[in-house]
Amino acid sequence: MKKILDKSEIQKVIELLLELYPDAKAELNFTNPFELLIATILSAQCTDVRVNKTTDSLFKELKTPQDYIELGERELGKRIYSCGFYKNKSKNIVETCRILEEKYEGNVPDTIEELMKLPGVGRKTANVVASNAFGVPAIAVDTHVFRVSNRIGLANSKNVLDTEKDLMDNIDKNMWTKAHHLIIFHGRRICKARNPLCEECPIRPHCLYYKSGGKR
Ligand code: SF4
């Protein structure tokens, strides 16, 4: 049994996913890079639906990094409580806002390297913000991308960093960001964590997990 699909098969899988989810895009609501940064920090261990409910009112009240600094950790914590880990998240957000004010004149930096220096911003968050807010080609590997890519055979890795590398090696650079959204959409709708809906999945003829009888 193959460990990973050939490049041409991976291309075919991406085409099938494109047919299935022509409108795949970020499911977090935002209108500018700063809002996306805040929403992405909030989305750690939380659903996009829950984050969108929270930011719906939060973004009406708070517009700039200075607004978050003036509000302070404690009050921010009350507003983001339902997203979980609210103490850590509010601490990271306020600290991030301080850095944005002090180092970047209140703007969000546009490179993955600079973004990763902000508190609460790991590689996945940096990739999400850089690609969706600034058009930097990137494949953010979250729990869905990790699971679905390694099931199908788009990647063959035990960790998110190597999964990202496999995907970047095998998918055209101009498709990285789109592929990220396509794979997440598939993971949320069909290739679910516990019970993947293989019988209704158009990727089935290519999928190494399916071909192995679920043993991969
Ligand atoms: S065939 Fe099953 S395991 Fe493979 S991508 Fe589809 S749902 Fe996921």
Write the pLDDT tens digit of every residue in 143-176: 999 999 999 999 999 999 999 999 999 999 999 9
What whole-number distance in Å separates Cα of residue 1 and Cα of residue 100?
Answer: 49
* Average pLDDT of the segment spanning 97-125: 97
Q: Could you confirm whether 12 is annotated as catalytic?
A: no
* Average pLDDT of the segment spanning 173-201: 97
Nearest partner of 37 among 103, 113, 96, judged by Cα? 96
SS3 content of the chain, % helix, strand, coil (to 5): 65, 0, 35
Exposure on the CB side of residue 204, measured as CA atoms within 13 A: 9
Report the predicted TM-score, pTM, of the whole model to 2 decimal places. Answer: 0.93
- With a 6 Å cutoff on the Cβ, whether 196 touches ligand 1 is yes
Q: Could you confirm whether 60 is annotated as catalytic?
A: no
Distance 63 CA to ligand 1 centre (A): 41
155, 161 contact by CB (below 8 A): no
154, 167 contact by CB (below 8 A): yes
Gap between the terminal Cα atoms of the chain: 10
